Amino acid sequence: MSLNKEIQRRRTFAIISHPDAGKTTLTEKLLLFGGAIHVAGAVKSNKIKKGATSDFMEIERQRGISVATSVMGFEYRDVKINILDTPGHQDFAEDTYRTLTAVDSVIIVVDVAKGVEAQTRKLMEVCRMRNTPVIIFVNKLDRSGKDPFELLDELEEELKIGVRPLSWPISMGPSFKGVYDMYQKKLNLFESSDKQTIGNYIEATDINAPEVDTYLEPFADSFREELDLVNGVYPEFDNEEYLNGKLAPVFFGSALNNFGVKDLLDCFIDIAPCPRPIESQQRVVDPEEEALTGFVFKIHANMDPNHRDRIAFFKICSGVFERNKPYTHVRLGKKLKFSTPTAFMAEKKTIIDKAYPGDIIGIHDTGNFKIGDTLTAGEDLKYKGLPSFSPEMFKYIENGDPMKYKQLAKGIDQLMDEGVAQLFTSKLNGRKIIGTVGALQYEVIQYRLLHEYGATCKYEPIHLYKACWFESDNDAQIEDFKKRKHTAIAFDKHGRDVFLADSSYSLQMAQEKFPDIKFHFTSEF
């Protein structure tokens, strides 16, 4: 099959939402419809129920939340679909932001009872910055929630995007009847008592036909009125507007009960974009170019705890990736070969010989990669937009067991490479400081150090306001600054100088007193 055909049949997207909106459950059901799994898992896993495919880390299974992005690929109707299930919890937002650089479109899951929540708003801003096409799935219709029209107004107002419903619910909560798929003109009725199987699909080209009343009673009249109102108020669906990130199609359903999920998947395949040109720092790269280019957007240590392996998640932007072929690692300036590139199904991996633009593959990493690295067929190219943000919380990390010093050092080193958190070493006393975006990260680090590396750690509080990277062409001013602030200077994992400000006032004073020094709040400068 030609490169162009392979590109046309690729769909790479992320599922994002606030915690508990049903993101991982929706991922499970998409995998179920795609035939990738045969029994859908539950997010909170007990001994009898199968755990969610995408929540494969032990801590995720215990807490019932996603703490790392997982990648799953499957074929559906001759289309290769790559799903990235992201953490919804804001403490892991950085992982999600980086993931959004590696996808061509996004599905946002909204809880019908809670509507748009703070984290959803933040993630939408990232999509807007990149004009990423967005589909909205309103979930949990088997529970009572907000009126659909009220919810659509809220989506438009809060997410600052035009909306167009492509499916419509017939009642909700205990009296939930089903969903009318406006895109395919099908009624999807809720009939099964066993909530894990799909009810009836009825072709309903004419929704006003008398025989349809029998299915919709007692909501037939109100449903038709609502449908007329939808068609009167909202513009016709325009695919161009959607692809430009200006219009979001909205689907209603209940992921837990398989409702509206197939409608979403069928429509998604028709309208969602295949891999598109991506901007690098040097030029715009077209996916149809012959030469391979791509970037690492995530590193995960110990996906298989038995083998202590590190996997770099590599997004292919152009060309064909071939096994055992040498490619240039741009930052290191050396050629590397990969004998076991893998395709993902959460933590399950299969070795592949070829991969195409839009695909996300796993590359075994012996310490060569860091987030943002580029691989090419030889060209000096760098993709932008994979920053580390300035942390907002800080703690000293200390060894809990002197006999396990090596294990702790290795564990911290590998976990920091993943971008889970950031490590700073104080120049004054050499103590190590971990900076994170949220408190939950400290628990995850402690848990993973113990269970994956056999190392125990203790935290000690430290009062800091911000960590910022700094640079200047004025060497004398840099020297003076470092002397005066020597107690607050540290270096990051890559040896760059960082100023640890203990208050907003001290940061402001430093900016005023040293006008030639630039202070940066992301690591990309």
* Coarse DSSP helix, strand, coil percentages of the chain, rounded to the nearest 5 percent: 30, 30, 40
Strand locations in 50-104, DSSP E? 70-76, 79-85
| Separation of alpha carbons 152 and 158, rounded Å | 10
- Cα angle for residues 382, 386, 392 (degrees, 5° grid): 150
| Separation of alpha carbons 153 and 110, rounded Å | 13
- Phi, psi dihedrals of residue 315, rounded to the nearest 5°: -95, 125
Mean pLDDT of 23-33: 80
pLDDT, residue 88, reads 45
SS3 category, 393: strand
Q: Measured over all CA atoms, what is the biggest interatomic distance in the chain, rounded to whole angstroms?
A: 85
Let me know: does 137 contact 110? Beta carbons within 8 Å: yes
Let me know: does 7 contact 319? Beta carbons within 8 Å: no
pLDDT, residue 261, reads 86
Domains in the chain and their CATH numbers?
A: 3-274 (3.40.50.300), 279-376 (3.40.50.300), 393-520 (3.30.70.3280)
- Cα angle for residues 375, 379, 381 (degrees, 5° grid): 65
SS3 category, 129: helix
pLDDT, residue 84, reads 82
DSSP code of residue 449? H
User: Which amino acid, one-letter code, is at 223?
Assistant: F
pLDDT, residue 302, reads 61
- Encoded tokens for 209: 């036909």
| Separation of alpha carbons 448 and 441, rounded Å | 10
| Separation of alpha carbons 474 and 292, rounded Å | 40
Q: What is the mean pLDDT of the chain?
A: 81
pLDDT, residue 108, reads 92
- The length of the chain in residues reads 525
Residue 32 confidence (pLDDT) above 50: yes
**DSSP collapsed to 3 states, 211-226:** HHHHHHCCCHHHHHHH
DSSP code of residue 291? S
- Encoded tokens for 268: 């998604």
pLDDT, residue 330, reads 92
Let me know: does 462 contact 482? Beta carbons within 8 Å: no
pLDDT, residue 14, reads 87
pLDDT band, residue 218 (cuts 50/70/90)? confident
C-alpha distances in Å from residue 490, one per residue of 160, 433, 467: 40, 9, 9
| Separation of alpha carbons 52 and 54, rounded Å | 6
Pick from 343-357, 389-403, 424-438, 460-474: least confident: 343-357
Let me know: does 170 contact 222? Beta carbons within 8 Å: no
DSSP code of residue 173? G
| Mode of pairing for the β-strands spanning 247-252 and 162-165 | parallel
% of the chain residues with pLDDT over 70: 81
% of the chain residues with pLDDT over 90: 29
| Separation of alpha carbons 209 and 202, rounded Å | 13
Strand locations in 173-309, DSSP E? 178-181, 186-189, 201-203, 247-252, 278-279, 284-285, 293-301
- Cα angle for residues 180, 185, 188 (degrees, 5° grid): 35
Helices then strands, each counted (H, E), the chain: 14, 31
**DSSP collapsed to 3 states, 395-445:** EEEEECCHHHHHHHHHHHHHHHHCCCCEEEEECCCCCEEEEECCCHHHHHH
pLDDT band, residue 466 (cuts 50/70/90)? confident
pLDDT, residue 125, reads 80
Pick from 195-209, 343-357, 375-389, 506-520: least confident: 195-209
Residue 55 confidence (pLDDT) above 50: no
Count of CB atoms situated within 10 Å of the CB of 393: 16
pLDDT, residue 304, reads 58
- Encoded tokens for 364: 């075994």
The pTM for the full model equals 0.76
